[in-house]
Chains A and B, each alone.
Chain A
């Protein structure tokens, strides 16, 4: 390898994307060539500066705050046309002209030329500037289970979402056993069977109180609590983003996309886009086909041809035993004005409201430094002894009588070796317990470790 070839390959070498033979040739040349080593040093210095700046900028997410401020400033603009800033007036004029052009294009374009990507891209544009969205969905899940729970073996249960972007933003997500309401002041998660609720303050500029946003606001909550497991439903409710992300992912990953046209009624047609999504996880991975992000799925998007708006979504789990419909958005209403009651949550008398500052009980010294297996065993042993103070050292949620009745007096049959998945930051501990009722329960306890205290806490699997 000569100097020109070496310097042409230098970036690829530093990025470690050369094949081993080329990398060895490049390395040999560098060892004997001070000029190329100088070039390498200069390039490395620049890369280090760029990496340092990139690191400074990591985890910055300004989009929601900036777009919220822009919407608010636009809303504050006086409605008199003569008082509008020139650009706003011009943009409104152009919007009307654009709509006319798009409509004309739809009328004169042969329908057969539309492909799946075009239909998705038109759907993205049609979902811009929404003021509210109302989704009526069904999901295979247990009615009282958390919002993340989806099981192909369960029957369908309803899930409904109302989201309003006006003002500070408000939302409500509900399934039969639980409801979460964010009214602009606070977010309350009410678990109906447990008769308990968790309340966290709203974070200005953030509709969904993510863990990051809460820490900025001086609050600290375990990550899984933050949006109360509703994050994926919020992602779907952001229809513009969902379709845009789906289109980009499908194109980047080469997922097959097809489009067909269906006649719904006389003169009413829908374009139906099907995306065959692949998780990329190996078959043997524990989380393969366990959640949307880790499953191989077929997603079917239905768009109204007249408005280009998304009308419904179906998600089928692709499994060896056949495809199973696991989630469906049956109806989408755009820009509805919601009744005030939608964002009001009257809690029944006697409901325990907790979780404003959840802490793991007990001292760090005697609970830190355990293995996940040891933590799982201590947790179950404490349940067996009905030592609820000790259980609280691993259990971050409020505990009610139903919880204590279910787990008190259990005996451990086995606690296995923990394992993890490429898609989960905690660990799973296989266990088998015999409850006081005589029922044997065999599952995997999901535990996460608090990075500061090194203490394990329950994250799922009971």
Chain B
């Protein structure tokens, strides 16, 4: 079984910063996908992902729950993306009003919520989803990697799908709630 996020974070805090690369390897896929969809550009997303991982490393002392590393990292990635888009907006304001509209349009896309939903999964479920889809391993390879029976992997995937669909279900807005109450 691979070490947990908490174990890696604690190793980094205990004088083994090289352990951080295991966290980079584990989360580079979803963080990159999240940023690529938000920023609409692979090169920008790669820069933003690097920046996010570096900032997260130096912010580890502030992380109160080491087991929530991925959610913490995704929060930083969201801020980095926001900063990059604001910088792009400033340039766009100067150079091209149309570019600003394009940059803002990405805000309306729901696709990037997928990685946020994955952050809300229990770690054991998240690990299986990441290996299966972001490292593109077969279920058998996931089972081998985690030392689990194949049946456990498919059952975990099944539970993870159900949770993801629940999380991704459109939530009623405050306005909608108000209307229902009326």
Query: Which residues of A pack against B, CB within 8 Å?
Result: 8, 10-12, 15, 17, 42-43, 46-47, 49-51, 53-58, 60-63, 65-67, 69-70, 73-74, 85-87, 90-92, 94-96, 98, 125, 128-129, 240, 248, 251-253
B53 nearest CB neighbor, chain A only? A66
Cross-chain pairs A/B with CB under 8 angstroms, 14 sampled: A43-B161, A56-B32, A58-B136, A60-B32, A60-B46, A60-B49, A62-B32, A62-B50, A62-B53, A65-B50, A66-B24, A86-B61, A87-B61, A96-B15
Residue in A17, A60, A61, A87 whose CB lies within 8 Å of B60? A87
Give the shortest distance, in Å, between A244 (CB) and chain B (any CB): 9
The answer to whether A53 touches B18, judged by C-beta atoms less than 8 angstroms apart, is no
A240 nearest CB neighbor, chain B only? B18
How far apart are the CA atoms of A251 and B54 in the complex, in Å? 31
Give the shortest distance, in Å, between B43 (CB) and chain A (any CB): 9
The answer to whether B164 touches A67, judged by C-beta atoms less than 8 angstroms apart, is no
The answer to whether B15 touches A51, judged by C-beta atoms less than 8 angstroms apart, is no
- As a 0/1 sequence over residues 17 to 36 of chain B, the CB contacts with chain A under 8 angstroms (1 = contact) are 11111001100111011001
Give the number of residue pairs across the A-B interface with Cβ within 8 Å.
137
The answer to whether B161 touches A46, judged by C-beta atoms less than 8 angstroms apart, is yes
Give the shortest distance, in Å, between B37 (CB) and chain A (any CB): 7
Which secondary structure characterizes the binding site on chain A?
A: helix
The answer to whether B33 touches A57, judged by C-beta atoms less than 8 angstroms apart, is yes
The answer to whether B24 touches A69, judged by C-beta atoms less than 8 angstroms apart, is no
CB contacts (< 8 Å) of B37 on chain A: these are 53, 56
Residue in B18, B147, B154 whose CB lies within 8 Å of A15? B154
Query: Which residues of B pack against A, CB within 8 Å?
Result: 12-21, 24-25, 28-30, 32-33, 36-37, 46, 49-50, 53-54, 57-58, 60-61, 111, 114-115, 129, 132-136, 138-140, 144-145, 147, 150-151, 154-155, 157-158, 161, 164-165, 168
Most buried by B among A11, A42, A51, A57: A57
CB contacts (< 8 Å) of B154 on chain A: these are 11-12, 15, 17
The answer to whether B14 touches A67, judged by C-beta atoms less than 8 angstroms apart, is no
How far apart are the CA atoms of A8 and B157 in the complex, in Å? 11
The answer to whether B111 touches A49, judged by C-beta atoms less than 8 angstroms apart, is yes
Instruction: Please judge, given known A-B contacts A17-B139, A56-B32, A90-B61, whether A62 and B15 are in contact too, CB under 8 Å.
Output: no
CB contacts (< 8 Å) of A251 on chain B: these are 147
CB contacts (< 8 Å) of A248 on chain B: these are 145
How far apart are the CA atoms of A368 and B145 in the complex, in Å? 42
Residue in B14, B36, B46 whose CB lies within 8 Å of A91? B14
CB contacts (< 8 Å) of B25 on chain A: these are 63
How far apart are the CA atoms of A248 and B179 in the complex, in Å? 56
Give the shortest distance, in Å, between B157 (CB) and chain A (any CB): 5
The answer to whether A53 touches B50, judged by C-beta atoms less than 8 angstroms apart, is no
